[in-house]
Structure 1
Amino acid sequence: MLNYIPSWIISVIIVVIFGILFYQIYFNVIYFYSHDKSQVTIVDKVGSIFPYGLPLFEGLQNFGQQILPDYPFSLMALYKKTLMPLVVFYVTHPALAFIVFFVLYYLFVRTKSPIPNRPFIRFNVLQSILLFLINSLLGATFRALPIEFRVSIYGLMLCNTLFWFVLSTILYSFIKALQGKYAKIPVISQAVRIQIDNQ
């Protein structure tokens, strides 16, 4: 029976289930901790790290798959056991990224969001969306380059640089979110601040 259900419908169902669970947990726990919007709660910290999975999987899809096989075997074995199954699921369900993107936008970015305004989580969601868009643009630009350049030493160096840029910005944002602090990525964090201030 499941073989006849299109993969995009399964993606929508998964996103809706996780969205409902997060929505319920957020509402039930957030008011337990604090009514002060400026205070960063444990729920804000945990809720702020999940959106960074979207740009992480996009970066791994665009750049990681090409360069990670050249890394030491132990690193590749760790990647295969941890992130690779998730990246394969992400790649095989391309509609999932856009569904998650629009769900995040609807729940956290819009001014008339159904979720109460929490500045910390809103900042991190906006930043993860911006990182996702930058990763998508960088990936599309890299794939548009001639195949001769992409497989050359210079193409691999460029791919390696883009991969580490993506990984380091996401890891930095992830750590700052866990610490309950605002990340300060040049240009990107400033653009998020301007967007939040303008709403």
Structure 2
Amino acid sequence: MILSLTLIIIIYQTFISIQKQNNDTVISNHFVTMIDRFFSIPAYSLPLLEGLQNFGQQILPDYPFSLMSIYKKTLMPLVIIYVTHPNWAFIIFLLLYYLFVRPNSPIPNRPFLKFNVIQALLLFLINSLLGATFRALPIEFRMSLYGLMLCNTLFWFVLLTITYSVIKSVQGKYAKIPVISQAVKIQIDNRN
């Protein structure tokens, strides 16, 4: 638990220092409307549900009862739907790709919205890869102390990255996640 909290503090401080060092915007300044802010947030539900499915189900029962009861009332019904209908994630991924990432997408050019959707799709793919890799590890390791520590660390990485991105979206600013945001910027620059 102490290792996880230390890692969370390190990740948080890294995000803060990167944000302070890079005051320039990721993409050229465009006016960010409330519509862009509002519609950029739901895209992050896909990587959040993937992270909760991959890591949250294993470690959340060990958390205090108050946190678990909040989780059961808010996100658990969505995770159950997500787990029971895995095809929906694939359909939503393809729909978001069709609407925002494709060169001839039907949505008009909205850089802020496109940035957040592509970033959410990349986070989803990273969460899927991390989850598949973790599940491929031997069960003895996954259930050991080190496996639970790794699962806890991955869970908090997913949760903090998505929370940071959503907060930046609400503020109308571009989230600057190392490597991921740079890949999104390259993707958007290549499309324009």
TM over 0.5: yes
Q: Structure 2 counterpart of 1:127, which letter?
A: Q
Q: Which residue pairs with 1:64 in the alignment?
A: 56
Runs of 4+ that moved beyond 6 A: none
Per-residue CA deviations over 1:88-127 (Å, capped at 9, x if unaligned) read 0000000000000000000000110011010000000000
Q: Does 1:118 align with 2:110?
A: yes
Aligned residue among 135, 140, 147 for 2:139: 147
Per-residue CA deviations over 1:118-162 (Å, capped at 9, x if unaligned) read 000000000000000000000000000000000000000000000
Distance in 1 separating the partners of 2:190 and 2:109: 14
Overall identity of the aligned pairs, in %: 77
Q: Which residue pairs with 1:100 in the alignment?
A: 92
For residue 73 of structure 1, report the CA deviation from its aligned partner.
0.2
Q: Which residue pairs with 1:194 in the alignment?
A: 186
Q: Which residue pairs with 1:75 in the alignment?
A: 67
Q: Structure 2 counterpart of 1:121, which letter?
A: L
For residue 39 of structure 1, report the CA deviation from its aligned partner.
1.1
Q: Structure 2 counterpart of 1:165, which letter?
A: F
3-state DSSP class of the match of 1:38?
coil
Structure 2 runs not aligned, ≥5 long: 1-28
Cα RMSD for the two superposed structures: 0.8
Distance in 2 separating the partners of 1:98 and 1:177: 24
Q: Does 1:183 align with 2:144?
A: no
Q: How do 1:34-73 residues align onto structure 2 when only pairs under 5 Å count?
A: 38-73=30-65
Distance in 1 separating the partners of 2:100 and 2:31: 17
Q: Which residue pairs with 2:3 in the alignment?
A: none
Distance in 1 separating the partners of 2:151 and 2:118: 25
Instruction: Calculate the TM-score normalised by the size of structure 2.
Output: 0.84
Q: Structure 1 counterpart of 2:66, which letter?
A: S
Higher relative contact order (CA 8 A, sep 6+): 2
Distance in 2 separating the partners of 1:139 and 1:148: 16
